[in-house]
Structure 1
């Protein structure tokens, strides 16, 4: 998108240089990288950067609205509401927010972001500054472009993460919660979280419960858990119907959630119909649609409660929608399609791009703070690993912004 920077990068690129880049990561974090890192970062021009920031402001205006919690009370599915959502130390809001935009063209032919999805849940907050440094170490990245917002360095960025996640606790009293973290595709982020913040990734099955207190075993002793940096979603637990644990997410326990599970639902696809912005495609709860759009071919059907693109239907007919039982229609979203514009110049053509803007939200701050980003490149019909198998110049990466 920044033509001169792209040209310089592509001229310097070679498969051998890319392999050296990956080898450096594998040597530094053996056995941890289990997803595809793309061959290139994304270089974002200032005009598009400004539109992304404006789009984020439009969305944050709604999420910080006085009645947002009331409007999202029904977002939390039955049986999945977790107690103690409000915390004296963390405030009555999410601690993390990720906003995903497709990069498209508007009617004037200018690049523009269009909202795809958002979540009140942590993403690869530790991996993104790391991968930005790796790209800088192995490829030509101009000094006047940055992967960061509102901070001047990765060190300052990590200070914010430490303040939010660890706070005043001893790091061993804080855990990153997952199910079988050593098997997760994103475990490299867990390893870097341990490196940067000193907190361990602990499996749900390893947590011990005594009354309202939680513990895990470390070096032969029980350690009291005071804070949980939550990376576990209910969808993942459905893959283990016979799982036996002392602690379940819905238990009323004496712990602070850094990223309370309820906000995974409050800020989600459920939020999309509440938004009104030129950067947000029209979205409707299917249960509220009395007459289908005349151009239904331009809409996509999404289940409200799914993860990583599962269950999304790109091509729908009135008969498809009529087949959804009345009792289930509130669980679906009808969203106007967006057309990803192939904008990233690869050696053999152009690649589609999605940009995720990553926020944290400290207590007593009126609005969440944008800190960094994540990007995904795709040649498939949809963004995501399962839709881009056997391709190159696709996968996870990072943006460097002209600011």
Structure 2
């Protein structure tokens, strides 16, 4: 996206240097479970400003007094958790790199989530990339005037707050087995908290505990990495154990699980912006568009792209029995503009927003990027492809 940087990077790239970079990233007990992209995305200032402008317009909607009232239906009743915070601590916005009508590049929002993402791993990635390849002067992966130290200070302040780190946990379903476990190891290191599996929780009254060095230790804050939809795919014994999370507990959630649903595909029909594709609840669509090939059909309550219909037909729409739980969204056409040694790659950039307690608004802080040469973004669509996978963007400052 910045031609002179792209040309210089590709010319200096060697597989030997890249393998040394990957080896340095794999410093924990298990290797990274996803493919690491060979390159960052170099983002010019004009492009990043468009992304931030779209994010800020969404934040305007999220901070309206009636936003929670408008999104009550977004939370499935069987997944509603007591003790919801006044606002989420974390939001992630995903943008595709696309071409506009005049042939220039522009970001288009794909989706958003009121949920954490790879906040720890991206610090490690930036560190190791800089050591092996070097970051061009005037570029940074951090946003909002932050650097490595101030970013980690803010991350720690939000997650740990004033508690002893031993009373704060990262909660997941079998965290060591997750594809994103590298992020959990990084978070343990940077924040001093422990990853804990749902199956390891101990309930005493309305309090939760976990075993640390064989001793029951009180949990006062949960840095939540559990996607509650995934609970339905677990064995009955695990689902039974997880029922404790739906009780009124004496602890704080970071971010509270209800925000995963409030800030999601459900919110998109509320927003109009040039960098946000037209989105409507399917039950509000009275006339099926004649150019249906330019739309995508998405279920509200799914994750990781499951259930998405890319090539929509009128039959697909008529077959849906609960149209209030689906959205029809103008299709985003990714532009294959990242030059690689063979074919160009598409890219998606995720902007991280952090929201401190007491702050009127969240703020942009960091990012990740994914490169693809398949029909969709994601590892399973890029088998046997190089210069694809997970990475990050470097923004012109």
Q: Identify the TM-score tier after normalising by the shorter chain.
A: over 0.9
State the TM-score, normalizing by the size of structure 2: 0.97
User: For residue 197 of structure 2, what is the aligned residue in structure 1?
Assistant: 203
Q: How far does residue 220 in structure 1 lie from its aligned partner after superposition? A: 1.0
Provide, for residues 336-379 of structure 1, a one-character-per-residue CA deviation record: whole Å limited to 9, x for no partner: 10110111110112110000000110112111011000100001
Q: Distance in 2 between matches of 1:21 and 1:366?
A: 40
Q: Distance in 2 between matches of 1:44 and 1:176?
A: 32
Provide, for residues 267-303 of structure 1, a one-character-per-residue CA deviation record: whole Å limited to 9, x for no partner: 0010110111011111111111111112111110101
User: For residue 78 of structure 1, what is the aligned residue in structure 2?
Assistant: 77
Q: Distance in 2 between matches of 1:153 and 1:96?
A: 18
Which of 286, 291, 300 aligns to 1:290? It is 286
Indicate yes or no: 2:9 matched with 1:15.
Answer: no
Which of 261, 266, 273 aligns to 1:270? It is 266
Structure 2 counterparts to residues 192-341 of structure 1, below 5 A: 192-242=186-236, 243=238, 244-245=240-241, 247-325=243-321, 328-341=322-335
Given that 2:25 and 2:124 are in contact with CA atoms closer than 8 Å, whether structure 1 keeps it comes out as no
State the TM-score, normalizing by the size of structure 1: 0.96
Q: Distance in 1 between matches of 2:332 and 2:243?
A: 41
Q: Distance in 2 between matches of 1:347 and 1:177?
A: 40
SS of residue in 2 equivalent to 1:390: coil
User: For residue 24 of structure 1, what is the aligned residue in structure 2?
Assistant: 24
Q: How far does residue 151 in structure 1 lie from its aligned partner after superposition? A: 3.6
Provide, for residues 282-330 of structure 1, a one-character-per-residue CA deviation record: whole Å limited to 9, x for no partner: 11111111111121111101011111111111011111111112xx111
User: For residue 36 of structure 2, what is the aligned residue in structure 1?
Assistant: 37
Which of 343, 346, 353 aligns to 2:340? It is 346
5+ residue gaps, structure 2, are none
Q: How far does residue 140 in structure 1 lie from its aligned partner after superposition? A: 3.6
Given that 2:159 and 2:254 are in contact with CA atoms closer than 8 Å, whether structure 1 keeps it comes out as yes
User: For residue 380 of structure 2, what is the aligned residue in structure 1?
Assistant: 386
Given that 1:207 and 1:247 are in contact with CA atoms closer than 8 Å, whether structure 2 keeps it comes out as no
Provide, for residues 30-52 of structure 1, a one-character-per-residue CA deviation record: whole Å limited to 9, x for no partner: 31411111000010011111111
The verdict on how the C-alpha distance between 1:64 and 1:164 changes in structure 2, with shifts beyond 3 A counting, is same
Indicate yes or no: 2:113 matched with 1:114.
Answer: no
User: For residue 89 of structure 1, what is the aligned residue in structure 2?
Assistant: none
Structure 2 counterparts to residues 362-381 of structure 1, below 5 A: 362-381=356-375
Q: Distance in 2 between matches of 1:103 and 1:245?
A: 42
Q: How far does residue 20 in structure 1 lie from its aligned partner after superposition? A: 0.7
User: For residue 134 of structure 1, what is the aligned residue in structure 2?
Assistant: 128
Q: Distance in 1 between matches of 2:319 and 2:30?
A: 46
Q: Distance in 1 between matches of 2:209 and 2:393?
A: 39
